[in-house]
Amino acid sequence: MPGLQLRGVSKSFGGTQVLEAVDLDIAPREFIAFLGPSGSGKTTLLRIIAGLESADSGEVILEDRRIDQLGPGERDVAMVFQSYALYPHMSVRDNMAFGLRNARVPAPEIDSLIADAARVLEIEALLDRKPAQLSGGQRQRVAIGRAIVKKPQLFLLDEPLSNLDAALRLRTRVELAQLRKRVDAGVIMVTHDQAEAMTLADRIVVFHDRQIQQVAAPMEIYLRPANKFVAQFVGSPAMTLLPVELADGGEFAAVMLGDGSRIETRVPQASLPTGGGFELGLRPEHVTVSAEGVAAEVVLVERLGERSLVYAKLADGGAITGEDVGTSALKTGDRVKLAIDGPSAHLFAADGTGFHRAAA
């Protein structure tokens, strides 16, 4: 399939392996987010695709052409760096034109490409300014514009919003969402911000421990995490994990909490491996303060306006996070009952593999 294919890509720095036999297929014009903690290998893989790092082994194939043995300028990709990397002594126009002039693109074509990119990014009024005269968001748009004028087959964005304040990050996120509809190329964005990944990406690639943990659409990642790492890394606050024992059940698994409470899940019993070591996974929205349920003691209440997050401790000492109404009067030390939505619960085996409710 045309697009980008990674085959068995591995990379080490000294004695430290950062990528191990990574395989990935990305469709043309797809927006992909590389998501993971610092040191998980996501930026290294982006730089290997760009040609700024060389892989120890494996292949990088773009539109049926192997590019891992080509120089960065020959790969038909454009990279936008976290630090903007603009030349401070040049105007916006000259920054955008620099690479094209080095490639000996005719001047009239350069002018046309810059005009088109400036219109798409709404920076026409900034073309004669220097980077020091621009805000952080404007500099980021110029950096993106410098990539757009190359008309690459693939855009590579390295933490493009991390240098922006919260309000500007939100506005620029909207601009990126609109921009990807107007450019005829694929996009790979490296981020550690799950909100960016969940908002912008067609699919998310979750990295951890040198390898890809899961590749799926944003809500698939959230609703059906492949393993415990993905379950706790994606979602804020993190998914609660509680040790449980399998109970006698029928078609669907039932489990017992440490205090003896029985939870009926919709995880097919036949899908589970034999043995013990299971943990019950619960998103906060599936645990609610109620008149009946599992007994707990409130540790902290986080009031967010439209809802309140309740961090609590079960009788056996297990930590659990649930929700209450936005006007919750709960306070630290209160005793509460927590209703658990068993049909929405997840189970994780001893090796961390996730098991979820049967597909509708």
CATH number at residue 288: 2.40.50.140
Q: What is the pLDDT of residue 39?
A: 87
Of the three residues 177, 199, 226, the one that is the final residue of a domain is 226
Closest C-alpha to 72, from 103, 38, 35: 103
Q: How far apart, in Å, are the Cα atoms of 309 and each of 287, 299, 319, 324, 338?
A: 10, 11, 13, 6, 12
Question: Do 249 and 133 sit in the same domain of this protein?
Answer: no
**Which tokens in the block code for residue 104?**
């000996």
Range of the domain at 209: 4-226
Question: Do 82 and 172 sit in the same domain of this protein?
Answer: yes
Q: What is the pLDDT of residue 165?
A: 62
Question: Do 93 and 165 sit in the same domain of this protein?
Answer: yes
Of the three residues 167, 200, 226, the one that is the final residue of a domain is 226
d(CA 251, CA 125): 65
Of the three residues 176, 194, 226, the one that is the final residue of a domain is 226
Number of Cβ within 10 Å of residue 174's Cβ equals 11
Adjacency order of strands within the sheet including 57-62: 16-26, 4-13, 57-62, 65-66
d(CA 12, CA 171): 37
Q: What is the pLDDT of residue 168?
A: 64
Residue 111: inside a domain: yes
Q: What is the pLDDT of residue 214?
A: 97
**Greatest extent of the chain over all pairs of C-alpha atoms, in Å:** 76
Question: Do 221 and 247 sit in the same domain of this protein?
Answer: no
Question: Do 186 and 45 sit in the same domain of this protein?
Answer: yes
Q: What is the pLDDT of residue 181?
A: 72
Grouped pLDDT means (10 residues each) for the chain, 360 residues: 88 92 93 92 94 94 92 87 80 89 88 86 87 82 82 84 65 70 82 87 94 96 96 94 89 92 94 91 96 95 94 94 94 96 96 89
The total number of structural domains that make up the chain:
2
Helix (H, G, I), strand (E, B) or coil at 147: helix
Residue 235: inside a domain: no
Question: Do 23 and 149 sit in the same domain of this protein?
Answer: yes
Question: Do 49 and 195 sit in the same domain of this protein?
Answer: yes
Q: What is the pLDDT of residue 164?
A: 62
Residue environment code for 330-350, b if the CB has 16+ CB neighbours within 10 A, otherwise e: beeebebebebebebbbbbbe
Question: Do 208 and 282 sit in the same domain of this protein?
Answer: no
Question: Do 254 and 222 sit in the same domain of this protein?
Answer: no
Question: Do 285 and 171 sit in the same domain of this protein?
Answer: no
Q: Contact 331/289 with Cβ under 8 angstroms?
A: no
Question: Do 164 and 310 sit in the same domain of this protein?
Answer: no
